[in-house]
């Protein structure tokens, strides 16, 4: 158990809908990262938050947004869903936001199926 | 464009065999990490290498970071069925701790 909790574990929805994925980081970790894993693209970095502020952006679509709340949990919002958004979405957390060798701990992921 | 290419993509071997997985890039990374991911789980960190030429051993696993910090390898000695999984390398660049993951190597060790 990594200590990172993601809910829900599975999500099935239809095209055009909007969903929210939730992540609770490990106790004491200030940084949260979101990744998307699909068969054709592999594991891709989406976005990072550090202590409530956006720290880095990766290959995140404009239809996707995220935030980190004062209690440090994070939510990833996916809207106007398309079939191609079906993937595993992982959240990871780490103690700080920029130190080298900063270990990221991954949650078990949310499997999103868009039908 | 995938910055980190892993080879082979798939590997199926018998218990007791040795294997090497390669992670190559044309870019320099400040550090490189190796993860193993099992079905239904998130990636779990195995090791981080930071210095060019560094070699780290974790029981039967040996990790090496290239001298120029552009590539890495993972060698497993006497593979066991418990080693089965998806092996991912990930490079870190810049100060944000953002990880760029490799294409992955799916390893199956048959008993």
B-chain residues within 8 Å CB-CB of A99? Answer: 97
Contacts of A30 (CB under 8 A, 6+ apart): A50, A51, A72, A94, A95, A96, A97
CB contact under 8 A, B44 and A2: yes
pLDDT band at B16 (very low <50, low <70, confident <90, very high): very high
Give which of B10, B42, B50, B93 to mutate to test A binding, by max A Cβ within 10 Å: B42
Flag whether pLDDT at A82 surpasses 80.
yes
DSSP 8-state assignment for residue B98:
-
Q: Identify whether the C-beta of residue B90 lies closer than 8 Å to the C-beta of residue B35.
A: yes
Say how far apart CA A113 and CA A8 lie, in whole Å: 12
- Residue from A32, A52, A43 nearest A94 by CA: A32
Task: Inform me whether the pLDDT recorded for A100 exceeds 70.
Answer: no
DSSP B83: G
Taking CB atoms and an 8 Å cut-off, how many pairs form between chains A and B? 67
- Compute CA distances A64 → A20, A67, B69, whole Å: 10, 11, 33
Q: Work out the number of other CB atoms within 10 angstroms of the CB of residue A115.
A: 10
Closest by CA to B76, choosing from B37, B36, B25, is B36
Is residue B1 scored above 60 in pLDDT?
A: no
Which chain A positions have a beta carbon within 8 Å of B44's beta carbon? 2, 106
pLDDT digits (tens, 9 = 90+) for B17-56: 999 999 999 989 988 999 999 988 999 999 999 999 999 9
- Using the beta-carbon criterion (under 8 Å), do B96 and A56 form an inter-chain contact? yes
The partner residue sitting opposite A42, judged by closest CB among B40, B95, B101, is B101
Q: What is the pLDDT of residue B103?
A: 92
Chain B CB within 8 Å of residue A98 CB = yes
Residue B111: the pLDDT is: 94
Which residue among B42, B94, B103 places its CB closest to the CB of A90? B42
- For residue B95, pLDDT over 80 is answered with no
B17 Cα to chain A: minimum distance (Å): 27
pLDDT attached to residue B39: 87
Is any Cβ of chain B less than 8 angstroms from the Cβ of A42?
Answer: yes
């Amino acid at each position: 158990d990594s200590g990172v909790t993601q809910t829900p574990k599975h999500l099935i929805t239809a095209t055009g809908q909007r969903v929210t994925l939730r992540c609770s980081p490990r106790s004491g970790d200030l940084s949260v990262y979101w990744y998307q894993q699909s068969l054709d693209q592999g594991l891709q970095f989406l976005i990072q938050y550090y202590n409530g502020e956006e720290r880095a952006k990766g290959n995140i679509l404009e239809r996707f947004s995220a935030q980190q709340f004062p209690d440090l949990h994070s939510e990833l919002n996916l809207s106007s869903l398309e079939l191609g958004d079906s993937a595993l979405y992982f959240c990871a957390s780490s103690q700080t936001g920029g130190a080298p060798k900063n270990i990221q701990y991954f949650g078990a992921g949310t499997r999103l199926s868009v039908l | 464009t995938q910055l980190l290419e892993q080879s082979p993509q798939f590997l199926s071997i018998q218990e007791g065999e040795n294997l090497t997985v390669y992670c190559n890039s044309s870019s320099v990374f400040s550090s490189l990490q190796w993860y193993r991911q099992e079905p239904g789980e998130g990636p779990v960190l195995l090791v981080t290498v930071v210095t060019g030429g560094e070699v780290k051993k974790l029981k039967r696993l040996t990790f090496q970071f290239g001298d120029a910090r552009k590539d890495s390898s993972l060698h497993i000695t006497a593979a066991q069925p418990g080693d089965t999984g998806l092996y991912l390398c990930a490079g870190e660049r810049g100060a944000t701790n953002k990880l760029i993951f490799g294409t992955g190597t799916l390893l199956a060790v048959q008993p």
